């Protein structure tokens, strides 16, 4: 595995200010908005299908149709507890942005809510992958379950990015324990689908594992850990997990951005980003890896909601290529949605 390549530089967009933040008048998102997935749509037929499904007036729909492409952003949102409903349970919201991550519009209602036994306490941390003309959202279903089995990988799908059908928990032995960070590769490799996941117990817990299946809904067969935490003398404990769905590279490999959790001796935590290249045909699977790609530095990344008390976090659930550059929304301190960009020339140098 290569560990010596120079890290590409991340440009913080919008001057480091949030793209999406809490909406005071929406009870379901009046506290925090974070951990965004992102899908770029460029083909006109799919754009028209998605725009027609959005609950916007004709002026906004015409505005969206004028764009050459659109980013559909799916973010985790939490609100406050009310007598009629506890909005502290996470829902998934939808925003529409330009390809260069400029906000255009937001849906006023969640597109995915808690409500099943496997996700009644929250639908969390979406990752969306397009397969053909259908989109698959892997998310963490936080259910009441048993004491040892509350967080597992659930899946929903859509053909218009607005209306989503839940399919339940992902079918696989690794999903019978607490598991998170389910991330679907965007195409089959040698006739098989691949999935990253992060078991929270068992052998090589809190590392990135891979699974494969002939069908997206299962059954999935676990293949063990492909990326483990690297020791860091600055921290007492380190763990990792998947970030954005892997992005295909021209040579058949995939670009991977993942997250790194760290804990200091005083209990303080920090979440960073790392970058890697995956090659499913290689025995090692991960053939290049470097970290940290991004560490919390700005006010929006280092200081979160005062009541929740989560600070020093950058966290990613989606990314895409546009005009040769890499764009990715990401969460700052579990509270807001921010945006980053890596120039194509730097990515090309890293991927060589």
- The distance from CA 319 to its chain's CA centroid, rounded to whole angstroms, is 8
* Structure token pair of residue 97: 């942005």
User: Mean pLDDT across the chain, nearest whole number?
Assistant: 96
Any idea which fold 17-351 has? Tachylectin-2; Chain A (2.115.10)
Question: pLDDT of 156-179, one tens digit each?
Answer: 999 999 999 999 999 999 999 999
pLDDT interval class at 218 (50, 70, 90): confident
Q: Judge whether residue 1 has pLDDT over 50.
A: no
Can you name the residues that pair with 121 across neighbouring β-strands? none
DSSP track, 214-270: SSTTS-BEEEEEEE-PPP-TT-SEEEEEE-SPPEE-TTS-EEEEEEEEEE-TTS-EE
Q: What local confidence, expressed as pLDDT, does residue 5 receive? A: 60
Burial class (CB within 10 angstroms; exposed 0-12, middle 13-18, buried 19+) of 299: exposed
- Helix/strand/coil (H, E, C) string of 42-98? CCHHHHHHHHHHCCCCHHHHHHHHCCCCEEEEEEEEECCEECCEECCCEEEEEEEEC
Question: pLDDT of 246-271, one tens digit each?
Answer: 999 999 999 999 999 999 999 999 99
| pTM for this model (two decimals) | 0.97
Question: pLDDT of 42-75, one tens digit each?
Answer: 999 999 999 999 999 999 999 999 999 999 999 9
């Amino acid at each position: 595995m290569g560990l010596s390549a120079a890290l590409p530089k991340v440009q913080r967009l919008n001057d480091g200010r949030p793209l999406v933040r809490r909406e005071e008048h929406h009870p379901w998102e009046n506290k925090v908005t974070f951990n965004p997935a992102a899908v770029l749509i460029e083909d006109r037929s799919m754009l028209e299908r998605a725009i027609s499904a959005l609950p916007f007036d004709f002026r906004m729909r015409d505005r969206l149709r004028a764009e050459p492409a659109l980013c559909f952003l799916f973010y985790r949102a939490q609100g406050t507890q009310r007598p009629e409903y506890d909005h502290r349970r996470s829902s998934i919201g939808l925003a529409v942005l330009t390809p260069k991550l400029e906000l255009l519009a937001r849906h006023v209602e969640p597109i995915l809510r808690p409500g099943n036994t496997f996700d009644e306490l929250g639908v969390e941390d979406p990752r969306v992958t397009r397969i053909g003309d259908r989109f698959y959202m892997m998310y963490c279903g936080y259910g009441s379950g048993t004491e040892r089995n509350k967080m597992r990988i659930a899946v929903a799908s859509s053909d218009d990015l607005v209306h989503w059908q839940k399919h339940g928990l992902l079918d696989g032995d690794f999903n019978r324990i607490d598991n998170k960070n389910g991330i679907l590769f965007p195409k089959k490799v040698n006739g098989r689908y691949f999935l990253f996941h992060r078991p929270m117990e068992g052998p090589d817990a809190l590392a990135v594992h891979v699974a494969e299946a002939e069908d997206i809904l299962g059954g999935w067969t676990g293949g063990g850990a492909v990326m483990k935490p690297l020791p860091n003398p600055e921290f007492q404990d380190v763990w990792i997990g998947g970030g954005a769905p892997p992005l295909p590279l021209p040579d058949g490999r995939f670009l991977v951005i993942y997250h790194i959790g760290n804990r200091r001796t005083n209990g303080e935590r920090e979440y960073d980003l790392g970058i890697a290249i995956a090659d499913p045909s290689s025995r090692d699977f991960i053939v290049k890896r470097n970290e940290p790609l991004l560490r919390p530095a700005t006010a929006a990344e280092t200081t979160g909601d005062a009541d929740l008390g989560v600070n020093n976090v950058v966290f990613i659930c989606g990314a895409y290529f546009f005009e040769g550059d890499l764009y990715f929304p990401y969460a700052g301190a579990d509270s807001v949605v921010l945006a980053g960009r890596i120039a194509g020339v730097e990515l090309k140098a890293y991927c060589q």
